[in-house]
Amino acid sequence: MSEGKLKKKPPRAMDFMGGQSPHERSIQKRQAVLTWVYRWGYSSAEIIRQVADQTAGGYAKKLERRGLLVATKTESGTPRAIFTLTKSGYQEAERFADKLAPYPELDPYRVNQQLIRHNLLAQQITVQELENGNIHDYLTERFVAPDGDKPGQKRPDVVWIAWDGRRTAVEVELTAKWERRLDEFVLAVGKGLDPQKGPLYAEFVIVTDAPAIERRYRAAMAPGSTLTVWEKNNRGHWAPKDHYDTPSFISQGVRFILHENGQFRQAHSHNSDFLSNIPLDPSL
């Protein structure tokens, strides 16, 4: 080599990973996935791939082989399996968790199979919001109200936290509510948005795969529509107690998102700051 000529150094893996070494990146991915499953209780292989920011699949199985996750077949076959934390995975997730909550899914057979699609839709739309940079954090249902529900207060399926601190309550509605249950739902949403009492949330997002549910809920929340308060009578039966006109701040604070043909899309949204036409996990 001639004097004064510098030898070119070969590229290092960390040069392409924001200064992280492969080992550091591996730890970061593992922590991200274990935290995700800890917060939600369980997840699917496809969502875990997205959380780990992997191009190819197989990361959930990799953590299963390492004894951190366990796969349990679903009754519906869609997805084929869900992944929960093993005792080792749970202990590792707790070590770097900001908040702690019970984790009953250590026994995966305690998972309510009827709610799997519901909960995975909530996860899918949340991971996409994080990827799109619309939010920077979230709270799952078990972290929103760890001490249980308060009377008349809606505990959302997930709460999105925006960069400016605004909180959006997200509800996945796949089964229609009628009469009393729909009135109670609207009333609980109203309590979460009530400007006179200091709103708990900046807005509610209602996600559904049924246009009929979207239309029915939108009509029930329309300004001036009748909102009924129910109570049990002396025979123990539910009966109307009072009737009110639905206040306008409810419809103004609610957005609807439809899942149709494998995509999430806004349904006549008044706010375009959030997602539009987001692709869905095809297994859902």
Q: Is the pLDDT of residue 255 over 70?
A: yes
3 within some domain? no
End residue of a domain, out of 111, 142, 167: 111
The pLDDT-based confidence of 121 (bands split at 50, 70, 90) is very high
156 within some domain? yes
Closest to 206 (Cα-Cα) out of 242, 159, 173, 163: 173
Distance CA 4, CA 6 (A): 6
What is the predicted pLDDT for the residue at 281?
52
What is the predicted pLDDT for the residue at 142?
93
Q: Is the dihedral of CA 161, 162, 167, 172 positive or negative?
A: negative
What is the predicted pLDDT for the residue at 191?
93
Task: Record the tokens describing residue 87, joined without a space.
Answer: 């005792």
268 within some domain? yes
44 to 16, 47, 71, 133: CA distances (angstroms): 28, 5, 9, 22
What is the predicted pLDDT for the residue at 21?
80
Question: Where residue 27 sits, what CATH number does that domain have?
Answer: 1.10.10.10
What is the predicted pLDDT for the residue at 133?
94
Distance CA 59, CA 55 (A): 10
Percent of the chain, pLDDT > 90?
74
Q: Is the pLDDT of residue 248 over 90?
A: yes
Task: Record the tokens describing residue 277, joined without a space.
Answer: 């036409």
1 within some domain? no
Residues 106-124, mean pLDDT to the nearest whole number: 97
pLDDT (tens digit per residue) in 8-36:
555 433 444 456 788 888 999 999 999 99
The pLDDT-based confidence of 112 (bands split at 50, 70, 90) is very high
Task: Record the tokens describing residue 257, joined without a space.
Answer: 């998102």
What is the predicted pLDDT for the residue at 263?
84
Residues 3-10, mean pLDDT to the nearest whole number: 56
What is the separation, in whole angstroms, between the first and last Cα of the chain?
60
Looking at the structure, tell me whether residues 133 and 269 fall in a common domain: yes
End residue of a domain, out of 85, 111, 137: 111
Closest to 142 (Cα-Cα) out of 104, 93, 180: 104
DSSP 142-206: HHH-TT-PPTT----SEEEE-TTS-EEEEEE--S---HHHHHHHHHHHHHHH-GGG--S-SEEEE
10 within some domain? no
Looking at the structure, tell me whether residues 26 and 154 fall in a common domain: no
The pLDDT-based confidence of 254 (bands split at 50, 70, 90) is very high
The pLDDT-based confidence of 267 (bands split at 50, 70, 90) is confident
Looking at the structure, tell me whether residues 135 and 107 fall in a common domain: no
pLDDT (tens digit per residue) in 128-167:
999 999 999 999 999 997 655 566 677 899 999 999 999 9
Task: Record the tokens describing residue 263, joined without a space.
Answer: 């995509």
Q: What is the extent of the structural domain holding 197?
A: 112-284
Looking at the structure, tell me whether residues 121 and 88 fall in a common domain: no
9 within some domain? no
Q: Is the pLDDT of residue 279 over 90?
A: no
Q: Is the pLDDT of residue 177 over 80?
A: yes
Percent of the chain, pLDDT > 70?
85
Task: Record the tokens describing residue 76, joined without a space.
Answer: 């519906």
Looking at the structure, tell me whether residues 36 and 161 fall in a common domain: no
Looking at the structure, tell me whether residues 158 and 241 fall in a common domain: yes
Least confident of 60-64, 261-265, 278-282: 278-282
Given the DSSP bridges, would you call strands 167-172 and 203-208 parallel, antiparallel or unpaired?
parallel
Looking at the structure, tell me whether residues 106 and 117 fall in a common domain: no
Looking at the structure, tell me whether residues 180 and 83 fall in a common domain: no
Average pLDDT of the chain, as a whole number: 88
212 within some domain? yes
What is the predicted pLDDT for the residue at 7?
58
SS3 (DSSP) at 60:
helix
Core vs surface per residue 258-273: b (16+ CB within 10 A) or e = bbeeeebebbebeeee
Residues 178-197, mean pLDDT to the nearest whole number: 94
More confident residue, 217 or 11: 217
Burial class (CB in 10 A: 0-12, 13-18, 19+), 178: exposed
How many domains in the chain? 2
End residue of a domain, out of 82, 111, 140: 111
Looking at the structure, tell me whether residues 35 and 132 fall in a common domain: no
